[in-house]
A and B are shown apart, each in its own frame.
Chain A
Amino acid sequence: MSLLQTTNVIKRFGGLVAVNKMTFSVDEGHIVSIIGPNGAGKTTFFNSLTGIYRPEEGEIMFKDHSLIGLRPDQVSARGISRTFQNIRLFGSMTVIENILVGMHIRLKQNALDALFRSKKFHAEEKEAEQKASDLMEYVGLKNVGNELARNLPYGGQRRIEIARALAANPTLLLLDEPTAGMNPNETEDAIKLFRRIRDEKGITILLIEHDMRVVMGISEHITVMDYGEKIAEGSPQEIRKNQRVIEAYLGREAASSKD
């Protein structure tokens, strides 16, 4: 059964149709990729899913509930977390604080608990901090918990973004070009991380990437967009051979190179 199902989603900017009649689904427990040329509408599609944009037409169902009209925080509460293409960390908060912010919706404390420092509050804070440092380790960051997020190098910031997204215990994780700016070795690590997230935590992953090693390496299913529309769909093998995809996106060389 599909976890996320969109039907005919359309998002326009003025005259430009950035996402055009996207019908698309993600099965629970899968790693699914969206690829496509620059400006194809991938990020816009993500933004439509997460409530940052409200699509003009179409339906988005998540766990059999519609997401249309929900605010981003409500979408997040339903179990969808994301990272951003241009890193958007809380730069002058520490790494650990960033992750704690990610936990916001999972924490139960209210203002009164905070004011009176109830037992519940202490227990929860302690647990949250523990969980945050576990997460940091999980994504491969050590001993940087008290650094300001913006002082970390690019790759490190990408990892915090992922950890922050995981902190909300999502069912579905949306990653927008998570390995951009990473070198091949780091990319390898990231691939392993994504696999582990899916295998160990059972989180479904939807991914936008331009790095074919990632896309071809871990996706069960790939959707290709161009000019807002879905132009192809299938397994990595199918996509790699798809003539239209090669022309519009992969280029001859990449298509022929080993993964």
Chain B
Amino acid sequence: MGKLLELTNVHSYYGHIHALQGISLHVEEGEIVTLIGSNGAGKSTTLRTISGLIHAREGKVHLDGKDITHTEPHIVVSQGVGHVPEGRGIFPKLTVQENLEMGAFTVNDQKIIKDRLDLTFELFPRLKERISQFGGTLSGGEQQMLAIGRGLMQNPRILMLDEPSMGLAPVLVDVIFDTIKKLNEQGTTILLVEQNALMALSIAHRGYVLQTGSIVLTDDAAKLKKNEMVQKSYLGID
């Protein structure tokens, strides 16, 4: 098991807003790692910096030992990083089917595409019902399913999920977490950002806690779950 992904002292900005203030973290091959933290802590920004949607002004991002700090997102993606962004990023005027196909843009193996499509529809039968509806007219939760499905279609080595349970009905939340676990067992590395920290920590191996752009705590998931500060601030357990 090597370090698949590594961030060293990463600083990212939105204009003059200093969103990441020296983040260092790593994800090893085969792991599920979760980032937790309150609103605005910089979780989404971390994922965006990794996938190249924004570039770090300082520090380095390495994928498999290669420096990808300033690599454009389409190259990062083609190197096996999947990113299901916050806000879903559905193509509103493509149908559900086409949206999913877009997910497999860099995949050439027809068999994988078919398998993944089947998997997606198995997870979210709802999407199959809506297969030729435009993405933009889906309900919020349906869009979330589509975004996750599209991430699956990419067949990435490492899948980064930004709040995948947001807006999903409770039954589906369970399904999502089961799926993440299953994917991981089949060999996909996972970097997970979740507000539902309790569930995230239940399936993750390790976790990082972010506070206003910095990492304040990191440990095994099980231990974090028992950490008093974490319990108090993020799990809602007093």
Contacts and interface: CB of A to CB of B under 8 A. Distances in A.
Contacts of A155: 38-40
Interface string B7-30: 000000010010000000000000
How big is chain B's contact interface, by range?
35 or more
Contacts of B142: 38-39
A131 B198 CA distance: 38
Contacts of B6: none
B195 A182 contact: yes
Interface string A71-114: 00000000000000110000000000000000000000000000
A39 B141 contact: yes
A38 B145 contact: yes
Contacts of A38: 126, 139-142, 144-145, 167-169, 172
Contact of A181 (B36, B145, B163, B234): B163
Nearest to B129: A39
B236 A185 contact: yes
Contacts of B139: 38-44
B169 A186 contact: no
A88 to B, nearest CB: 12
Contacts of A85: 140, 167
B169 A185 contact: no
B40 A153 contact: yes
A185 B233 contact: yes
A10 B233 CA distance: 44
Interface string A210-245: 101000000000000000000000000000000000
A116 interface: no
A162 to B, nearest CB: 14
Contacts of A43: 139-140
Interface in A154-205: 154-156, 177, 180-188
Given A38-B168, A41-B139, A182-B195, 19 more contacts: A38-B139, A38-B141, A38-B145, A38-B169, A38-B172, A39-B130, A39-B141, A85-B167, A154-B40, A181-B163, A181-B166, A183-B197, A183-B236, A184-B195, A184-B236, A210-B169, A248-B171, A251-B173, A254-B170
Interface of B: 14, 17, 36, 38-41, 86-87, 126, 130, 137-142, 144-145, 163, 166-174, 195, 197-198, 233-236
Interface of A: 13, 36-44, 85-86, 151-156, 177, 180-188, 210, 212, 248-251, 253-254
23 contacts: A37-B141, A37-B169, A38-B126, A41-B139, A42-B139, A43-B139, A151-B17, A154-B40, A177-B140, A181-B86, A181-B163, A183-B36, A184-B234, A184-B235, A185-B233, A186-B38, A188-B236, A210-B170, A212-B170, A248-B171, A249-B169, A249-B171, A251-B171
